Amino acid sequence: MSKARAPARPRRPGRPSAASADLRARLLDAALQRFVGHGIAATTLRDVAKGAGVTPALVHYYFGSKEQLLAAVLQERLRPVMRELVVEASGGAGDFVARFVAGVHRVVERHPWLPALWVREIVSEGGGLREFMISQVAPQLPRQLAQHFAELQRNGRLNAGLDPRLTVVSLIGLTLFPLAARPIWSRVFEASDIDSAHLQQHTLALLARGLELRDEH
């Protein structure tokens, strides 16, 4: 008669080992990569496990459920990146906008997955991060930007005809969207010569001077 297998030992409390921390980080990275490439709704714990080269049971061991895994990705991967986008509300309008545009490009260079995730999970209807954006990120970034634009208007340092809230929408649209759509427009216009510096210069020129339209009679 075979001996009964001893019950598995529960995970000991306390600080995780270096190997445990590294594996947990790898699982978070695999989950983020899957969310970006296939969407949050379509991702399962099995998909994450496959991407990380481990068993689904191990993903469950670390995170318990997909909801808990998503919460960890938001807290440990996305939220720090959103904090990197915060710009100190100081200086004139031109300096402030230039620092924001340059900051977006720096963040995307470090985290190239951000534009695709933004389009798929925030902008698109039914995106899994829309509520996170509205409830968690909005007070920290878009609303603060709008408040600073309103202050610049009151001081006569920004076009009084602008709506500060829509100015934020335009600013984000002129930074994140071109970066998200780069694989398309770079092929359409055969624009391999346009690098990050060129794109930033164009964006700032458009924001500072617009199209300089002239009606012809």
pLDDT score for 6:
42
Residue 214, pLDDT score: 78
**Which DSSP state fits 73?**
H
Q: Tell me, what's the pLDDT at 17? A: 55
Predicted TM-score (pTM) of this structure: 0.84
Long-range contacts of 120-128 (CB under 8 A, 24+ apart): 120/36, 120/39, 121/35, 121/39, 121/40, 126/41, 127/40, 128/35, 128/39, 128/40, 128/41, 128/70
Q: What pLDDT shows up at residue 216?
A: 61
Q: Is the dihedral of CA 178, 79, 166, 104 positive or negative?
A: negative
Q: In Å, how far from its chain's centre is CA 71?
A: 15
CATH architecture of 85-209: Orthogonal Bundle (1.10)
Q: What angle do CA 75, 78, 79 make, to 5 degrees?
A: 60
Helical spans, DSSP H, in the chain:
18-38, 45-52, 56-63, 66-73, 79-84, 93-110, 114-118, 130-132, 142-154, 164-173, 176-180, 182-188, 196-209
- Residue-level pLDDT at 140: 82
Residues 153, 159: Cα–Cα separation, whole Å: 7
Span(s) in the chain for CATH 1.10.10.60: 18-74
Please provide the CATH number assigned to the domain covering 18-74: 1.10.10.60
Per-residue pLDDT of the chain (217 residues; tens, 9 = 90+): 444 444 333 444 444 455 688 999 999 999 999 999 999 999 999 999 999 999 999 999 999 999 999 999 999 999 999 999 999 888 889 999 999 999 999 999 999 999 999 999 999 999 999 999 999 898 889 999 999 999 999 999 999 999 999 999 999 999 999 999 999 999 999 999 999 999 999 999 999 998 888 766 5
In eight-state DSSP terms, residue 4 is P
Portions of the chain given CATH number 1.10.357.10? 85-209
Contact 211, 205 (CB under 8 A): no
pLDDT of residue 210: 87
